[in-house]
């Protein structure tokens, strides 16, 4: 694979990325703030956006049990997001609570990874996306639960228990579908091939990750990667699925450069809160 097909920042043409003469923090430029706030927003937004995606299945699940399961997963993730965004708002100190952060930020201010905003597709796509995320999430929570930031460690200790159930569920479905019929196998292999390019972003480190180490938050992507690989390889082997090559990895979500899907999701998620500010029910 040539360098041109290596890591590509979404939405930035080759010449635009290094436009040093123009102000970088323009209307669409990254507006990275306090690293601890950024770190909490990344963790919270991943779960808020994935939780919202899963909630789109409510009433549309392939079977009743899965409809309920997907809604349960969505509830856990949105609950985790509420805790994380509340913490982010407290650290930020500008009076924004979890609702203000969820409903009154625009797409470029969201810090979720690109994987979680990808559309649900069929049930196989949803389960592959969930599995790739869950396998990473349990490792992140495990590290943060043992970390030196008490508020975040408390959220992590709780979320770890929840995400273990999620991972068991999603991994079993990946095996069931991959090692199922010719049709289900072909569909989940295609889902894996399509979504794989969003997995590299999970392991990227930047200045935010370096800076939060001062707060006792040590997310060592290099240590998490081999363990994620082991989980993924084990499950894919059982599912008779072929692991795609690490090529053409996409990233940008952590600095607010998203795929086109996020805007549509936010439009649905935010419209009630924005149409009726302060409404309570």
For the bound state, the minimum distance from the C-beta of residue 86 to other proteins, rounded and expressed in Å, comes to 10
Question: Which residues within the stretch 230-259 sit at the binding site for other proteins (CB under 8 A)?
Answer: 231, 234-235, 238
Alpha helices (runs of H) in the chain, residue ranges in sequence order: 35-55, 64-92, 98-103, 114-117, 123-145, 150-178, 182-195, 207-212, 221-238, 261-275
Q: Is 269 in the site for other proteins (CB under 8 A)?
A: no
Q: Is 99 in the site for other proteins (CB under 8 A)?
A: no
For residue 238, what are its two tokens? 């059982």
Our CB check for other proteins shows the closer of 72 and 184 to be: 72
Q: Is 73 in the site for other proteins (CB under 8 A)?
A: yes
Our CB check for other proteins shows the closer of 164 and 261 to be: 164
Q: Is 132 in the site for other proteins (CB under 8 A)?
A: no
Our CB check for other proteins shows the closer of 77 and 88 to be: 77
C-alpha dist (Å) from residue 276 to 72, 94, 273: 27, 22, 5
Q: Is 128 in the site for other proteins (CB under 8 A)?
A: no
- The answer to whether the CB of 47 falls within 8 A of the CB of 156 is no
- The answer to whether the CB of 191 falls within 8 A of the CB of 128 is yes
Cα separation, 209 vs 95, in Å, equals 25
Residues lying near other proteins in the complex (CB under 8 A): 51, 65-66, 68-69, 71-80, 82-83, 138, 142, 150, 153-155, 157-159, 161-162, 164-165, 167-169, 171-172, 175, 231, 234-235, 238
């Amino acid at each position: 694979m040539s360098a041109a097909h290596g890591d590509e920042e979404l939405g930035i043409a080759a010449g635009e990325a290094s436009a040093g003469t123009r102000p970088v923090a323009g209307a669409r430029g990254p507006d990275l703030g306090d690293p601890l706030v950024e770190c909490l927003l990344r963790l919270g937004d991943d779960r808020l956006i994935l939780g919202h995606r899963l909630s789109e299945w409510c009433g549309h699940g392939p079977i009743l049990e899965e409809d309920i399961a997907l809604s349960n997963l969505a509830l856990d993730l949105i609950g985790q997001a509420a805790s994380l965004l509340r913490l982010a708002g407290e650290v930020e100190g500008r009076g924004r609570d979890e609702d203000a952060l969820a409903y009154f930020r625009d797409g470029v201010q969201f810090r979720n990874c690109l994987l979680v905003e990808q559309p649900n597709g069929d049930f196989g796509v949803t389960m592959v996306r969930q599995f790739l995320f869950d396998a990473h999430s349990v490792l992140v929570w495990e590290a943060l639960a043992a970390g030196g930031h008490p508020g975040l460690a408390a959220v992590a200790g709780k979320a770890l228990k929840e995400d273990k159930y999620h991972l068991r569920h999603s991994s079993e479905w990946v095996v069931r579908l991959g090692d199922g019929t010719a049709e289900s196998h072909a569909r989940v292999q295609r889902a894996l091939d399509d979504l794989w390019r969003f997995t590299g972003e999970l392991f990227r480190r930047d200045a935010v990750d370096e800076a939060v180490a001062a707060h006792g938050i040590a997310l060592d992507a290099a240590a998490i990667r081999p363990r994620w690989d082991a989980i993924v390889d084990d499950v894919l082997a059982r599912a008779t699925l072929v692991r795609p090559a690490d090529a053409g990895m996409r990233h940008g979500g952590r600095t607010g450069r998203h795929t086109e899907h996020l805007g549509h999701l936010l439009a649905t998620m935010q419209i009630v809160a924005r149409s009726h500010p302060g409404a309570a029910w």
